[in-house]
């Protein structure tokens, strides 16, 4: 058992931390207050290989392992969770599924532009009546000559208005209810119309859109994986994607702890630093312990994924614990800051707002518990997800 990162992993982690400190931290408060998507940032990340960290070099990526990618997400999210989720969806939810399930032609055609950051990816699964119950989606794809004609509406789609490539799920078997009749498709921005942008509690530097596909005709080669096997693509994507969201939550929790620790060493009350009061010491001790535990769960899940081992249960555990840790630790950070923590003068209120959604997307905490329970009890049926 080896708990040390490799030299390559440490270098990638350091690179992500440096770019986060130089290109994200000075601007994040402005992005948050203005609800602005920093489009100019992503070409800079792409130049450093951070838009395709774990994509093989032959497909335009950096060729690093999955744990290195998780380290990058943790560092980016430590600076700004909105940037973290944008990179996570782009990589985990779009680029990797095409790499895993695509034909040779699809991989050669679609993966390099994504890995090089020339196009951004969006994952389109969720609908108004198909969230955790992804098998209830109504978007349909009907065969039309040598292609497919697709119509439907999606919501809560990250980065849609900036995306060039969409991984979209639609029902190809209209007679079969549930997950069995769903297929996955690779669409371009021209196939999609953005109909709205959500005003969110947090992650204000990311964008979340509703979209429609209106009678779009796509070629047969846009079908990803086998017909009526799209739910398998979605589940495999979410199994890996949850590890990325766990890394995002871990980064938020670490940022909140760092801020609270520094503040406790500086803030003076009753003639001494508040770090000298046992009440504050215990808070920080609990925060540090839970963050370490979350990190071990996240890194283990990433290691299992990288080594081709089953990782659905491990990813669900990591996502469940890391997201709930982030919610607890950001609340504790505000408590340590006191009244200042409730203001926008300090970043802990932003961490608190950003942390909440990690308990919701890529599967709510309740869904994670179902995934874990089914795994430990040997129950294999899965009919739930969330994008």
Q: pLDDT by residue (tens digit) across 325-371?
A: 999 999 999 999 999 999 999 999 999 999 999 999 989 999 999 99
- Judged against a pLDDT cut of 70, whether residue 384 lies above it is answered with no
Q: Are residues 219 and 237 in the same domain?
A: no
Q: Are residues 238 and 372 in the same domain?
A: yes
- The pLDDT, as a whole number, for residue 244 is 96
- Judged against a pLDDT cut of 90, whether residue 381 lies above it is answered with no
Tell me which residue has tokens 């129950």.
379
The answer to whether position 386 is within a domain reads no
- Assign residue 139 the CATH number of its domain: 2.40.110.10
- Judged against a pLDDT cut of 80, whether residue 386 lies above it is answered with no
Q: Are residues 276 and 220 in the same domain?
A: no
Q: Are residues 242 and 360 in the same domain?
A: yes
Please answer whether residues 69 and 240 qualify as being in contact, where contact means their C-beta atoms are separated by less than 8 angstroms: no
- Judged against a pLDDT cut of 90, whether residue 132 lies above it is answered with no
Q: Are residues 208 and 236 in the same domain?
A: no
Q: Are residues 273 and 222 in the same domain?
A: no
Q: pLDDT by residue (tens digit) across 216-260?
A: 999 999 999 999 999 999 999 999 999 999 999 999 999 999 999
Question: Residues 74, 290, 313, 362: which is the catalytic one?
Answer: 362
- What are the structure tokens assigned to 279, written together? 């009440």
- The domain boundary residue, chosen from 175, 206, 228: 228
Total-model pTM: 0.94
Between CA 291 and CA 271 the distance in angstroms is: 30
Is 362 catalytic? The answer is yes
The region that residue 379 occupies, defined by phi over 0 for left and psi between -120 and 50 for alpha, beta otherwise, is beta
For 266-328, list the strands marked E by DSSP: 268-269, 272-273
How many C-beta atoms lie closer than 10 Å to residue 8's C-beta? 12
Of 296, 298, 311, residue with least CA distance to 235: 311
Mean pLDDT of the chain: 95
Q: Which domain holds residue 25?
A: 7-119
* Mean pLDDT calculated for residue range 77-102: 98
- What are the structure tokens assigned to 118, written together? 């020339």
How many C-beta atoms lie closer than 10 Å to residue 374's C-beta? 17
The answer to whether position 2 is within a domain reads no
Q: Are residues 81 and 139 in the same domain?
A: no
- What are the structure tokens assigned to 170, written together? 């639609």
């Amino acid at each position: 058992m080896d708990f040390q990162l490799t030299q390559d992993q440490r270098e990638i982690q350091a690179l992500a931390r440096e770019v986060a400190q130089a290109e994200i931290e000075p601007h994040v408060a402005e992005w948050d207050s203005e609800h602005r998507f920093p489009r100019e940032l992503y070409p800079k990340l792409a130049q450093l290989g951070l838009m395709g960290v774990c994509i093989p070099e032959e497909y335009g990526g950096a060729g690093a392992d999955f744990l290195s990618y998780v380290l990058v997400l943790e560092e980016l999210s430590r600076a700004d969770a909105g940037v973290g989720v944008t990179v996570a969806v782009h990589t985990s939810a779009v680029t990797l599924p095409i790499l895993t399930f695509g034909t040779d032609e699809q991989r050669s055609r679609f993966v390099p532009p994504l890995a090089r950051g020339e196009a951004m990816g969006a994952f389109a699964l969720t609908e108004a009546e198909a969230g955790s119950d992804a098998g209830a989606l109504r978007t349909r794809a009907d065969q039309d000559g040598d292609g497919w004609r697709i119509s439907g509406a999606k919501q809560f789609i990250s980065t849609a208005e900036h995306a060039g490539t969409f991984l979209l799920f639609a029902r190809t078997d209209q007679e079969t209810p549930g997950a069995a009749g769903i297929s996955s498709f690779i669409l371009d921005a021209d196939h999609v119309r953005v109909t709205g942008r959500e005003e969110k509690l947090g992650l204000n530097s990311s964008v979340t859109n509703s979209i429609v596909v209106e009678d779009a005709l796509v070629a047969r080669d846009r079908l990803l994986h086998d017909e009526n096997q799209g739910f398998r693509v979605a589940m495999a994507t979410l199994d890996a994607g949850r590890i990325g969201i766990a890394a995002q939550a871990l980064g938020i929790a670490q940022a909140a702890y760092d801020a609270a620790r520094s503040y406790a060493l500086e803030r003076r009350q009753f003639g001494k630093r508040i770090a000298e009061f046992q009440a504050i010491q215990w808070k920080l001790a609990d925060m540090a312990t839970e963050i370490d535990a979350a990190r071990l769960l996240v890194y283990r899940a990433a290691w299992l994924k990288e080594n081709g081992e089953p990782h659905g249960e491990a990813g669900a555990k990591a996502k469940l614990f890391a997201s709930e840790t982030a919610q607890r630790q950001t609340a504790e950070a505000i408590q340590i800051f006191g009244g200042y923590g409730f203001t926008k003068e300090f970043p802990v209120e932003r961490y608190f707002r950003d942390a909440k959604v990690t308990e919701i997307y890529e599967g709510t905490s309740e869904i994670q518990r179902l995934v874990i329970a089914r795994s430990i009890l040997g129950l294999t049926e899965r009919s739930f997800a969330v994008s």
